[in-house]
Structure 1
Amino acid sequence: MKVTSILAIYCLFWVMSAFIVLPFGVRTHADEGTEPEAGHVHSAPVNFSGKRIAKRATILSIVLFALFYLNYTYGWVTTDDLDLVQRLRPN
């Protein structure tokens, strides 16, 4: 696999991981028992930390990419394994 392909796939895993970890640990004003500032929506997070999200996304994306690369290298799951029509067709 080329380095550019590795980098592109890792970036896709990172973005996906960022969206996965985004809702964890978020507390709203209702959870905190405070009133939001003027112009803020009530569901806006009180304690949003972009660094924390990036750190969690990086860790998760490293794990997911490692599993992807190991599967690519060793061929644990192939496209033939995912072809349900072929599996269900009687011989």
Structure 2
Amino acid sequence: MSPVTGIAIYVVIWWITLFAILPIGVKTQADEEDITLGTTESAPHRHRMGFKLILTSLVAAAIFALYYFLVVVFELSVDSIPRIVPDFSGRG
């Protein structure tokens, strides 16, 4: 795997992980009974983006490490998955 491919895969994993982590621990302004004038009740009370970006980076790094070991170290690929659908073509 080239470094550019590795970085691209990590970025994709990072973005997917970010969207999975964003809703974790969110308390709305209505939950905290502290609604700021001009905002909706469902707006987050504290977004804690710094914590979520660090957590996203750590989780994405762990997922990428697992991917790296499966693909590079153990040399697994899509071809390693057993064929589920039988081959009825009669060619082999």
TM-score range, shorter chain: 0.7 to 0.9
Q: Which residue of 2 aligns with 1:78?
A: 77
* Alpha-carbon distance, 1:67 to partner: 0.6
Higher share of residues assigned helix: 1
CA deviation profile, 1:28-64 (whole Å, cap 9, x unmatched): 1122122x22221111100112211111101110000
TM-score (norm 1): 0.81
Moved over 6 A (4+): none
Unaligned runs of 5+ residues in structure 2 are none
Q: Which residue of 1 aligns with 2:86?
A: 89
- Counterpart CA distance in 2 for 1:8 and 1:88 is 32
SS at match of 2:7: helix
Unaligned runs of 5+ residues in structure 1 are none
* Alpha-carbon distance, 1:78 to partner: 2.9
Q: Which is higher, the Rg of structure 1 or of structure 2? A: 2
CA RMSD of aligned residues (A): 2.1
TM-score (norm 2): 0.80
- Counterpart CA distance in 2 for 1:81 and 1:27 is 44
